[in-house]
Structure 1
């Protein structure tokens, strides 16, 4: 009788998780309409995901080096004429591309779909607050986007149907510096693997030997690493979002999920009885806030905000709130500055 009741409770709990995931997926699909985007903003049409290619070997040594921060986060020094931060302040609205389903990083409240929570969300709100002036608050508007949409939408800008800023656990690397601008590093995650608790695979070599189906979002560095020759045998499965991967894992349609330790900690927290994170790590993922390639001055402004955010203890408070329990103690990363502003 006890076994039957336990099995029933587990089934009900898993069914509830799947229901929540379905609801989150529906919200993500609806992200191109209100309330995430004003009615006068054109919808973005995503292209079908191309087959993943192997992550390119680093072609630079300064992937985590950003622009020098502006000397102030308010006043004329921070808001030169023609700058993106000036346009945002005048508009009164900062549009930020975020994840809608990365629990602990950036996710919608399933009961209040206009409310977002997470580490990336806290940082985005700090940028909006810094842009505000006495008597004129800059509101932050969160737009749910996929990993594959991060680069095209931030370069499109708000007037082109995109966003001002991407706060969506985006890894800084040499190739991406050719496509967008980045703030300084605000978090360093590790790529790891999530499997079912009953999985026979206890390590990455086990997954390779089993020719496991490993899931990750299209356009992510996580999926690109899975087609590296050293992991030959693994079958990459790319989808739109990590919660889609979780549903597939629960259904037995994939064998593992790969992604940043922060993301996997969030997935595990949503279904702790059925999933576990493996210890294997296959690379660091330094996160940066992405801006339009043509607006490095906004990255400079964001760097000044980030510098104050860390010095004030807000970074540490946010980390302790969301990740300390799952990932242990951690200190803020040390910003690296000195990147030259591209010639216009």
Structure 2
């Protein structure tokens, strides 16, 4: 019997191109080509070639400037423009997805940039422009200056530090695999010969091929693209961050996430252009405030706790980068 594509996924595709009342949104043309414990401590990743820890970001200022105080550097550029431009997803349920009822893009990642915009302007409303980008567009969008910041479940790693800068870690995800509900496999190592989708331009594809080089990889520019390939029978499964797969499974009653296999650590950072170190420091101050005030935990409990379980605390930031 042919499996029908659930309405939620279909609606997500249709709504990605729609505008909404509260956000200025732009669809950029395609680029070429449950644990109750705290997240793992950010000390495990190996140092980069320059000796720096991959998770070490720039230390935040002792105090953040108030919205009515004068500022300099890139923060002034954003202030003068009167809006923060953020690159986000519009189809990653619970992280950054367009609500089919309200038309608003919402989720955990969106809460991060709302907080940054609020710290700059006193309110995010009227001062936050969301530009919908695909996974392959994240780094180029920062490099060419079309966005100020990227909040799109982006893993911090040494290779990317050579291209852009990152905030301190704001969430620790891990890679899992989504398969049909009636699948007998319990591990990605049992999927040899199966066609598995992973987002293009992501660490998920690299991790998948390391874990099982015998799978047949296929890519899509968006998370929903992989979900549609799965629902059309063109992919047997999807490999990606547990945050994204939880959203996929919530949209498809014929899918499940393999529960007992997490084969990578994916520390998320907010991406920023390498030249704008002052802005990275400011963003780290905002994240520190969110974690201290409980706003970070409120956002986690709203968007991710129902699928991923309780967390005792947000990730501990690691600083120390000086250049």
Is residue 280 from structure 1 mapped to residue 261 from structure 2 by the alignment? Answer: yes
Of 307, 311, 316, 2:292 maps to 311
Structure 2 counterpart of 1:123? 112
**Deviation string, structure 1 residues 98-149 (Cα, Å, up to 9, x no partner):** 0110001110112333x11110011110100000159x97611111100100
Q: Does the residue aligned with 2:63 lie in a helix, a strand or coil?
A: coil
**Preserved contact between residue 164 and residue 271 of structure 2 (Cα < 8 Å):** yes
- Once residues 253 and 133 of structure 1 are traced to their aligned partners in structure 2, the CA distance between those partners, rounded to angstroms, is 47
Q: Is the 8 A contact 2:16 2:98 kept in 1?
A: no
The whole-number CA distance in structure 2 between the counterparts of 1:44 and 1:244 is: 15
Distance in 2 (alpha carbons) for counterparts of 1:137 and 1:20: 27
Report the Cα offset of residue 257 of structure 1. Answer: 0.4
Is 1:320 matched with 2:301? yes
Q: 1:180-195 residue pairs with structure 2 within 5 A?
A: 180-195=164-179
Residues 316 and 66 (structure 1 numbering): CA distance in 2 closer, same or farther, change over 3 Å? same
In structure 2, what is the equivalent of residue 54 of structure 1? none
* Aligned: 1:156 with 2:138: no
Partner of residue 130, structure 2: 142
Shift of 1:71: 2.1
Asked if the contact 1:94/1:138 (under 8 Å) is kept, the reply is no
TM-score (structure 1 length as normaliser): 0.82
Q: Secondary structure at the match of 1:72?
A: coil
Query: How big is the shift at 1:260?
Result: 0.5
Q: Which of 1 and 2 has greater Rg?
A: 1
Query: What RMSD, in angstroms, separates the aligned Cα atoms of the two structures?
Result: 2.7
Change (3 A) 1:58 1:275: farther
* Structure with the bigger percentage of helix: 1
Task: Please tell me whether the aligned partners of residues 101 and 107 of structure 1 are also in contact (alpha carbons under 8 angstroms).
Answer: yes
Q: Within 5 Å, which residues of 2 pair with 1:179-328?
A: 179-208=163-192, 211-228=193-210, 230-271=211-252, 273-278=253-258, 279-328=260-309
Once residues 283 and 213 of structure 2 are traced to their aligned partners in structure 1, the CA distance between those partners, rounded to angstroms, is 40
| Residue aligned with 1:90, SS | helix
- Number of residue equivalences: 305
Contact 1:203 / 1:280 at 8 angstroms: preserved in 2? yes
Instruction: Say whether the 8 Å CA contact 2:52–2:321 is kept in structure 1.
Output: no
Aligned to 2:36: none
Runs of 4+ in structure 1 displaced over 6 angstroms?
Answer: none
Q: Retained in 2: the 8 A contact 1:92–1:137?
A: no
For residue 79 of structure 1, report the CA deviation from its aligned partner. Answer: 5.9
1:62 equivalenced with 2:53 (yes/no): yes
Query: Residues 106 and 133 of structure 1: is their aligned pair in 2 closer, same or farther, counting only changes over 3 Å?
Result: closer
**Compared CA separation, residues 237 and 22, structure 1 to 2 (3 A):** same
Q: Give the secondary structure class of the aligned counterpart of 1:227.
A: helix
1:226 CA displacement: 2.4
Q: Is it true that 1:46 corresponds to 2:19 in the alignment?
A: no
Note if contact 1:213-1:255 (Cα within 8 Å) is conserved in structure 2.
yes
Any idea what the Cα deviations from partners look like across 1:282-338, whole Å, max 9, x if unmatched? 110000000011111110000000000100000111111112222111120000011
Q: Does structure 2 retain, via aligned residues, the 8 Å contact 1:64–1:185? A: yes
**Helix, strand or coil: the match of 1:316?**
helix
* Structure 2 runs not aligned, ≥5 long: 34-46
CA contact (8 A) 1:146 1:240 kept: yes
- For the residues of structure 2 that align with 1:80 and 1:130, how far apart are their CA atoms? 12
SS in 2 for 1:194: strand
1:108 matched to 2:98: yes
Is the aligned partner of 1:91 residue 2:101? no
Aligned with 2:31: secondary structure?
Answer: coil
Separation in structure 2 between the aligned mates of residue 202 and residue 79 of structure 1, nearest angstrom? 57
Instruction: Give distance in 1, aligned partners of 2:289 and 2:137.
Output: 29
Superposed CA deviations along residues 171-199 of structure 1, whole A, max 9, x for unmatched, are 00000001001100000001000111012
